[in-house]
Structure 1
Amino acid sequence: MKTLIYILPIIIALFISSCSSNDDNLILDETTALNQIQTLSNTDHDVEIFSTKNKLEQGYNNIYLRIKDKTTGDYIKNANLTWKPMMHMTNKMHSCPKSTIQKTEGKETLYNGYIIFQMAENATEKWDLTIDYTVNTISYTVNDKITVPASSKKKVTVFMDSDNTKYVLALINPDTPKVGLNDFKIGVYKMETMMSFPIVENYMIKQDPRMPSMGNHSSPNNTNLEYNTTSKMYEGDLSFTMTGYWKLNLMLYNNTNTLIKGEEVTDTNDSSSLFLEIEF
């Protein structure tokens, strides 16, 4: 009996230690399905950047963030974050479309949002990223250059309408296309200034996917993309009958049903001037 009395506290201590260890592992496991892209640092914190992809790239990027306290090694659970991506060109600077940063649903230490890089870096023009955040009412900032190479296919396009208003249109989904019917999602943004890219609401997008290498044939059961007030994206159905290279011909209409950009594909016109690309 005395032996049991002595052993019992040890068992309880080991159980508590095991639970604590498991809690730590749960926090670490929040990024197991993600790829760490880069870390931005200041004196107090490391801000870790993650993605479902292996790198950032020109076009739409779904980005996850995690803040590590350098002193304690703990990850911050209740921060408020904003960000500012900036392209440094040879003669000017500009930002790009981006979302707010939210706490990732069901996660303790992860925050996420998206950034749409409308142009890729080159030898003399680079992107950097500033992240401002507060922890317990104290403000912090991190900033560093980020790598944004060109995408292999056209996933984002920039164009002007007849009034010289500039738009950014980006492919959001399908991220992993398949033969058959796919959820099709596009983001549309208006360039108000070099720093402001508000979402364009209540337009409409007609689509006509074609396979140029196979007689420019189309596919059945495609639908127009309508604005979704919840996702704030344009959504429809996109059909692929086979794998390969597809050109997604588009026609963008404003809220008065006036054509803004794009042309119909016909026997004498094999492509719209407004298009995106997918190959799988």
Structure 2
Amino acid sequence: MKLKYILLFLFIACFTTACNTDDADDTQQEVNEVEGVLKVQEISNNTHTIELYNKEGVFKTGYNSIRLRIKDNTTNMYVENATVSWKPIMQMPSMQHSSPYSTIEKSIGTNTVYQGFIVYQMTNTDGSGWSLTIDYAIDGTDYTATDAIHVLQNEKQHVTSFMGNDAVRYVLALVEPESPIIGVNTLKVALFRMESMMTFSEVEDYTISLDPRMPGMGNHSSPNNTDLSYSFVDKLYHGDLSLTMTGYWVLNLKLMNTLDEILKGETVTEDNPQSSLYLELEF
């Protein structure tokens, strides 16, 4: 009899444990694949709603890293197998133009998130003027969605468009540091050549010299900076930026081609306190 009760007790205990485990699995929350980013806006058509995200929750002039998801309007499920491309357009009074932008790829470690970047080189004072068209294919069917987007003017110059001494128009944009620190920061910038009003190409293997200065502090510089060189890994220009204190910094730059010919920018001297090619930081 004792053995029968012992076996019955063990059976009940095992059954209860199994049920509790199943309940825990059922109540486990789904993974949030857009954790750490904020929704900027949605672009919709009759079939899908495309959600656009970045870290700040707004688009600004400069380099914008963007994530997106495509939601089926009927099922409210997010699409996992789309092929996506996009094109930003700025409408001017008498013409229109695009801007530098990337291809779109699936974000690593996610099922429903796609990512890329767009560089907005300008905007209207009220943030208007830009639209974004997203073309995508799902299971062999093509779709498109277009809407106006709001692009704010960045308080500091994080992007500049200029004509080089080679009669080529370039766009230069700050990518990192996103959150500068006192010390040596990794500086990354993106450089593009304007091929036409709608086409921009990445510029490879040039050199960008760096001379950071603090105009409000006697225009002093800092030690341990390095010039920027091109990386074929992420297609950006990398250098070391030394910031010795908080405040407003001007990153004076000179752009050199593969022959070391200066295409834009000047050396900072007492008589020339700032290069014509520069970016800004304040922290």
Normalised by the length of structure 1, the TM-score is: 0.92
Structure 1 residue 40 and structure 2 residue 56: aligned? no
The match for 1:193 among 193, 196, 205 is: 196
Is structure 2 residue 160 aligned with structure 1 residue 162? no
1:243 paired residue among 241, 246, 252 = 246
Q: Deviations over 1:177-207 (max 9, x none)?
A: 0100000001110011001000000100001
**What letter corresponds to residue 261 of structure 1 in structure 2?**
K
- 2:54 corresponds to which of 48, 51, 56: 51
1:145 matches 2:145:
no
Q: Which residue identity does 1:190 align to in structure 2?
A: R
Query: Unpaired segments of 5 or more residues in structure 1?
Result: none
Q: Which moved more, 1:122-131 or 1:193-202?
A: 122-131
Deviation at 1:17, TM superposition (A): 7.0
Q: Give the one of 82, 85, 107 matched to 1:82.
A: 85
| Distance in 2 (alpha carbons) for counterparts of 1:234 and 1:216 | 25
The answer for the alignment partner of 2:4 in structure 1 is: none
Q: Following superposition of structure 1 onto structure 2, how do residues 1-280 of structure 1 map, counting pairs within 5 Å?
A: 19=25, 22=28, 25-26=30-31, 29-123=32-126, 126-280=129-283
Aligned length: 274
1:254 and 1:21 map into 2 onto residues whose CA distance is: 59
Is the 8 Å Cα contact of residues 89 and 124 (structure 1) preserved in structure 2? no
Structure 1 residue 74 displacement after superposition: 1.0
What do residues 37-83 of structure 1 show as CA deviations (whole Å, max 9, x unaligned)? 10111111110000011211000000000111111111111111000
TM-superposed deviation, 1:121:
2.6
Q: Which has the larger radius of gyration?
A: 2
Partners of 1:137 and 1:16 lie apart in 2 by 38
Describe the shift of the 1:94–1:18 C-alpha distance in structure 2 as closer, same or farther (beyond 3 A): farther
- Aligned-residue sequence identity (percent) comes to 45
The one-letter code of the counterpart of 1:178 is I
Paired with 1:212 and 1:25, the residues of 2 have a C-alpha distance of: 50
List gaps (5 residues or longer) in structure 2.
1-7
Give the Cα–Cα distance (whole angstroms) in 2 for the partners of residues 124 and 105 of structure 1.
Answer: 32
Report Cα offsets for 1:91-131 as digits up to 9, x if no partner: 10000001110100111111100000000233595100000
- Counterpart residue identity of residue 38, structure 1: Q
Q: Which residue number in structure 1 is paired with residue 5 of structure 2?
A: none
Distance in 1 (alpha carbons) for counterparts of 2:253 and 2:127? 32
For 1:272 and 1:49, how far apart are their aligned partners in 2?
Answer: 36
Residue identity matched to 2:124: E
CA contact (8 A) 2:127 2:153 kept: no
The alpha-carbon deviation at position 212 of structure 1 amounts to: 0.4
1:249, 1:124 → 2: CA distance?
Answer: 28
Matched letter for residue 210 of structure 1: R
The separation in 1 between residues aligned to 2:236 and 2:93, in whole angstroms, is 32
Could you state the TM-score of these two structures normalised by the residue count of structure 2? 0.91
Within 1, Cα distance between the matches of 2:179 and 2:126? 30
Report the counterpart of residue 3 of structure 2 in structure 1: none
Q: Which amino acid aligns with 2:231?
A: N
Deviation at 1:162, TM superposition (A): 2.5
